[in-house]
Amino acid sequence: MSDHPALKSTPRTLPVGGPGYVHRRRPDDPMLIGRDRELDTLAELLRQDAGQGVFVLIQGEFRTGKTALLREVLGRARGEGGTVVSAWADPSETGAEFGIVCQLFEPLVLGATDGAESLLTGPAARAAAVLYPDASGSESADGPGPTTATLTGLCWLAARIAARGRLVVGIDDLQWTDQASLLWLQRLLRRAGDLPVTVVATAGPAQTPADRDALGRLAPLFRHRLALTDFDGAAVAAVTEAVLGVPGDARFHDAVRTATGGNPFLLHAVLRTIKASGSGPDAEAAAQITRFVPDDVGRALHLPVQAAGPHAQAVAQAVAVLGGTPALDLVAGATGLPEAAVQDAVHALERAGLMRRTGNRTACACPVIRVALAADALPSVRQQVHVRAAELMLGHGMPVEQAAVHALHAPLGLEWVPDVLCRAAAEAMRKGAADRAAVLLRRALREKLADDVRATLLIRLGEAGLATSVPEGARDLRRGLDLSRDPGEKARAARRLAGALFALDRYPDGLDVLERTADSLRESDTILALRLEIDLVYAGLHDAGSAPGVLPRLMDLRISDAVGTPAERPLAALLALRAVLLGESPAEAVALARQALTHGMNPADDESFVYSGAVLFLGTAGETDQALGYADAAVEEARTRGCAFTLAHSRIIRACVYGQLGRLLDCQADAEAALVQLREIGVDPQHSHSVLATAALADALVKQSRIDEAQSLLERAALTADLDGHWVSDYVHLVRGQLRAAQGQPAQALADFQECGRRTEARGMRCPWIYPWRSESALARAALGEHGEARTLAAEELALARRWGVPEAVGAALRALALATGGSQGLDLLREAVRTLAGTPARFRHAQALGDLGAQLRRAGRTAEARECLKEAVTAAHRHGAALVADRALEELRAAGDRPRTRTFQGVGALTPTEYRVAGLAAKGMTNREIAQHLFVGLRTVEVHLTNAYGKLGIDGRPGLAAALSQDGS
């Protein structure tokens, strides 16, 4: 048997690539590209003994290249001097008796001069003489139909022609050949085995039982059968390079092969369109292959679809329009046909290679066929299919999202369509598919709607739009707000619109929206008006221009004004801010923040930036770990909802909390991810959300000692010159001052710190732990030699910090005062700062204080104590990526005479190479003696290395070794 994967034949068939195999040039017909093996197989078959008959049947589904192969074979036969006759069958001519025979022999016998001339006396008479020599029409031994004499005469005619040299007969689409011609061919194949007659025929799937029966009797008479399968990956790659001129990659090949099912015709059609469009085999084209389906594919499908039966076209178009894998009862409902008729049509289309059926469901054989069939259907037909499908789904209680797929394409004016689309949009929003919700709502808004319904849809569209484009979402929200008359809807729309405007740094516009809407609702609904007032005050405090005007309103608010109402939680968040601003009671701030965050940072029933403020206030009040819990939950919830803006905002808040904790790498990761998302949804780098993320990222980079990167980041964001009056700019001044200090520019650093202080004082901020500008200014003045002013600023912050009562704030102020004071008193203050910070979540501040204490101890000549402090500082800083502290502590260690070989003194990173190797072998279960033998060292050496490893990893012995190595190294 042949080893050709597509060849089914008797043992006489030659294997591809066997003796005599010669690689051919690429054929001119592009449909033959990728069929090299099949062509070579046919060439070998046709080179067999010229005195024998060669009968080859090429089988394949729709447009697999059968015709192209046949034409190539016949062309080669002509070039080798053979007599070639050919015929192409057509389904419309299956009733024309001897239609194929007429096509084959009329060109040869008309005007012949040999013995056949005696049969022919004129064009009409000649045809009659060839096809009907027995004018009596007597029946053959085989029953009704062509007489035995007729069939014998035609076979004789073929033999007479073959006597002059090899006769090559080619017949395309044998499945559509008329019955009389099939009987003649059957007789010829049985009798021409020893004649120089070659018959090459192609056959696609037979559609009717009679055709299948006839082909079933005829196919075994072909000694060789070649089954054309769909193109494999190598063939797809070859065709891609031939058509596009470039090879493309595996991803593109997989995409185009999946879209076309590997069908050669479809593959060529799609690739030609890609080339004409100027695209190439890239990732974008791979993701949108069906966009390149040309119109001629739909036209080419007409013939096999029509041949599949009377209902095949309606069923094929319905399946294509419905998409996916619709159930047969749905197809029946969409077409108005009985389900039995649909089953018959699907069966015929499946045999034709155009459909695939699984159980009670069906689908087009590949995406390109689906697109081509759907595009070929009349618009009215497509609409009718969609409407029937949607109505049938709704009638059977199927999910509204499935019905909405078809309602999208329904004609305007159907009363049920807007409701279906709106319900589906709400479900899409619930699942986080905001872009899908927007598509549904835009279609619903094309309908003729009452003003109140249109207002609701516009507001929902605006809310969905915020996930992908804040400017577009804001426009739709404003249109809905202007049209709405419902108080609750107006309040919600106003807050969402204001939030979008704030995200675009249009603070005056956002404040105006809140003010006007609150005024319009004050008489009809005081709670809704209060809810808007809360956002108005909170947002107003963010801008230097509006802060003085809203501060008195903040002081007048009381939680009792909203107890038991929807305004209670947001008012608690705002009053937590007031407690922080006054800097008097962290306990009150924490209690109010917790009350505000009962439903999380982004509550679905009341989204507002005021809740994210409550999370940051928890950190300011010393509950940073709890703040991180709320921020983590907010990020996960936003990711589930699928709202890009909410996710970006939540990540920014978490980045700030990570910064408070000193987890610098985590802070960096969240800030960078938020900046990417903000850019993707159209939020400008200069907008406050982007600026906050940039400041948090720059802060993390400075503390990692990545000074040049921090400088470049601020320059790209245009944050190195004068800044606007937004609250977030205060933070930028603080971070920029820390960067200048790290760059060795204390004067410039002091200017930034003082500007931060001027701004915060103007906003009424007395809490020293929002922006600790006094302690930072004190360090800058100390670097400039202004020790008196430095002590004054540090002492002022320490007094405020003690009044605030949060250890992190107290410890930071103590450190600043210690460094400004110096001497033994400074050492005492530094020790107190280390003790104060040791139990707090502020790990960076603790590492800072440890490093400073070690440095001061070294200068005081207390080297041993200094080394212990400095090693602890290095380890604490290294754990969270605080290279700024770690590097300075390592320098001090070297100055103290130490020679550290690692950048940390605890954890896996602190192990020497030998310690790590010994610990790894012990973790695998080797005994100390086995380790000593394995490493060719003494037993005592192994014991020493293991003891050192236990200490650095913080474990008692072997039981915790594997976990410590794995956890610390992950």
Instruction: Write the pLDDT tens digit of every residue in 393-413.
Output: 888 888 899 889 889 999 999
What's the token pair of residue 169?
A: 């007969």
Residue 614 has pLDDT above 80, yes or no: yes
Dist. CA 87–CA 178, nearest whole Å = 12
H-type helices in 415-546, by residue range?
A: 416-430, 434-444, 451-465, 470-483, 487-503, 507-521, 526-540
Mean pLDDT across 220-230 = 87
Cα end-to-end span (Å), the chain: 57
The answer to whether residues 858 and 895 touch, using CB atoms and an 8 Å cutoff, is yes
Dist. CA 731–CA 106, nearest whole Å = 94
- Closest to 331 (Cα-Cα) out of 306, 352, 312, 353: 312
What's the pLDDT tens digit per position in 122-180? 333 343 444 444 433 333 334 444 555 556 666 666 666 666 677 889 999 888 888 88
The pLDDT, as a whole number, for residue 17 is 31
- Tell me the pairing of strands 361-364 and 355-358: antiparallel
Q: Which residue has the higher pLDDT, 158 or 831?
A: 831
The answer to whether residues 385 and 351 touch, using CB atoms and an 8 Å cutoff, is no
What's the pLDDT tens digit per position in 247-279? 888 899 999 999 999 888 899 889 999 999 988
The pLDDT, as a whole number, for residue 150 is 58
Mean pLDDT across 642-646 = 81
Burial class (CB in 10 A: 0-12, 13-18, 19+), 903: middle
Angle at 820 between CA 814 and CA 821, to 5 degrees: 85
Dist. CA 605–CA 462, nearest whole Å = 16
Q: What letter does residue 118 receive in the DSSP assignment?
A: G
Torsion of CA 868, 872, 873, 876, to 10 degrees: 180
**Token match 């939030």: residue?**
499
Residue 502 has pLDDT above 50, yes or no: yes
Q: In three state form, how does the secondary structure of 837-899 look?
A: HHCCCCHHHHHHHHHHHHHHHHHCCCHHHHHHHHHHHHHHHHHCCCHHHHHHHHHHHHHCCCC
pLDDT band of residue 443 (cuts 50, 70, 90) is very high
- Closest to 186 (Cα-Cα) out of 127, 128, 140, 136: 140
Can you count the helices (H) and strands (E) in the chain? 47, 8
Question: Phi/psi zone of residue 206: left (φ > 0), alpha (ψ -120 to 50 degrees), beta?
Answer: beta
The one-letter amino acid code at 757 reads G
pLDDT band of residue 112 (cuts 50, 70, 90) is very low
Cβ neighbors of 954 (< 8 A, separation 6 or more) are 906, 907, 964
Residue 19 has pLDDT above 50, yes or no: no
Burial class (CB in 10 A: 0-12, 13-18, 19+), 275: middle
pLDDT band of residue 113 (cuts 50, 70, 90) is very low
Q: In three state form, how does the secondary structure of 337-390 look?
A: CCHHHHHHHHHHHHHCCCEEEECCEEEECCHHHHHHHHHHCCHHHHHHHHHHHH
**Backbone φ, ψ for residue 228 (5° rounding):** -85, 110
What's the token pair of residue 197?
A: 């007659």
What's the token pair of residue 400?
A: 């509204």
- For 163, the 3-state DSSP assignment is coil
- Closest to 848 (Cα-Cα) out of 823, 824, 813: 813
The pLDDT, as a whole number, for residue 902 is 56
Burial class (CB in 10 A: 0-12, 13-18, 19+), 633: middle
The pLDDT, as a whole number, for residue 515 is 93
Residue 15 has pLDDT above 60, yes or no: no
Dist. CA 959–CA 939, nearest whole Å = 20
The answer to whether residues 215 and 203 touch, using CB atoms and an 8 Å cutoff, is yes
What's the token pair of residue 274?
A: 């890609």
Dist. CA 9–CA 57, nearest whole Å = 10
Dist. CA 598–CA 595, nearest whole Å = 6
The answer to whether residues 173 and 203 touch, using CB atoms and an 8 Å cutoff, is yes
The pLDDT, as a whole number, for residue 137 is 37
The pLDDT, as a whole number, for residue 419 is 93
CA distances (Å), origin 204, targets 151, 232, 669, 933: 25, 20, 59, 74
The answer to whether residues 608 and 578 touch, using CB atoms and an 8 Å cutoff, is no
Torsion of CA 266, 269, 271, 273, to 10 degrees: -140
User: Residue 197: beta bridge partners?
Assistant: 167
Residue 689 has pLDDT above 50, yes or no: yes
- Closest to 761 (Cα-Cα) out of 540, 576, 534, 583: 583
Q: What letter does residue 908 receive in the DSSP assignment?
A: G
- Closest to 425 (Cα-Cα) out of 415, 417, 416, 436: 436
Dist. CA 824–CA 831, nearest whole Å = 11
Cβ neighbors of 548 (< 8 A, separation 6 or more) are 762
The pLDDT, as a whole number, for residue 445 is 95
Dist. CA 302–CA 300, nearest whole Å = 6
Q: Which of 15-19, 83-87, 508-512 has the lowest mean pLDDT?
A: 15-19
- On average, the pLDDT of the chain sits at 84
Cβ neighbors of 447 (< 8 A, separation 6 or more) are 412, 413, 417, 418
The pLDDT, as a whole number, for residue 331 is 92
Residue 234 has pLDDT above 80, yes or no: yes
The pLDDT, as a whole number, for residue 122 is 35
Cα R_g (the chain), whole angstroms? 42
- Closest to 66 (Cα-Cα) out of 178, 217, 199, 201: 201
pLDDT band of residue 208 (cuts 50, 70, 90) is low
Distance from chain centroid for Cα 687: 27
Mean pLDDT across 74-86 = 84
The answer to whether residues 743 and 707 touch, using CB atoms and an 8 Å cutoff, is yes
- Tell me the pairing of strands 7-9 and 224-227: antiparallel
Residue 3 has pLDDT above 70, yes or no: no
The pLDDT, as a whole number, for residue 366 is 92
- For 950, the 3-state DSSP assignment is helix
The pLDDT, as a whole number, for residue 402 is 87
Dist. CA 108–CA 128, nearest whole Å = 15
Which stretch, 97-101, 744-748, 934-938, has highest mean pLDDT? 744-748
The one-letter amino acid code at 123 reads P
The pLDDT, as a whole number, for residue 519 is 93
Which stretch, 390-394, 624-628, 686-690, 893-897, has highest mean pLDDT? 624-628
What's the token pair of residue 442?
A: 């835009």
Q: Which of 115-129, 299-313, 764-778 has the lowest mean pLDDT?
A: 115-129
pLDDT band of residue 806 (cuts 50, 70, 90) is very high
Which stretch, 499-508, 552-561, 895-904, has highest mean pLDDT? 552-561
Q: Which residue has the higher pLDDT, 136 or 675?
A: 675
The answer to whether residues 736 and 780 touch, using CB atoms and an 8 Å cutoff, is no
The one-letter amino acid code at 66 reads K
The pLDDT, as a whole number, for residue 8 is 37
The pLDDT, as a whole number, for residue 795 is 96
Mean pLDDT across 836-852 = 91
- Tell me the pairing of strands 224-227 and 355-358: unpaired
Dist. CA 786–CA 705, nearest whole Å = 26
Residue 219 has pLDDT above 80, yes or no: yes
Q: How many residues can be counted in the chain? A: 970
Which stretch, 118-122, 713-717, 947-951, has highest mean pLDDT? 713-717
The pLDDT, as a whole number, for residue 368 is 93
Distance from chain centroid for Cα 557: 46
What's the pLDDT tens digit per position in 22-79? 334 445 667 777 787 888 888 887 776 556 778 899 988 877 888 888 988 888 888 8
Dist. CA 447–CA 869, nearest whole Å = 73
Mean pLDDT across 886-902 = 80
Cβ neighbors of 449 (< 8 A, separation 6 or more) are 418, 457
Dist. CA 95–CA 177, nearest whole Å = 9
Q: What is the 3-state composition of the chain as percent helix, strand, coil, each rounded to the nearest 5?
A: 65, 5, 30
The pLDDT, as a whole number, for residue 131 is 44
pLDDT band of residue 468 (cuts 50, 70, 90) is confident
Q: Which of 45-49, 221-225, 255-259, 492-496 has the lowest mean pLDDT?
A: 45-49
- Closest to 549 (Cα-Cα) out of 521, 514, 580, 573: 514
What's the token pair of residue 617?
A: 């206030």
What's the token pair of residue 35?
A: 């069929």
- Closest to 76 (Cα-Cα) out of 109, 118, 43: 43
Specify the DSSP element, H or E, that contains 8: strand 7-9
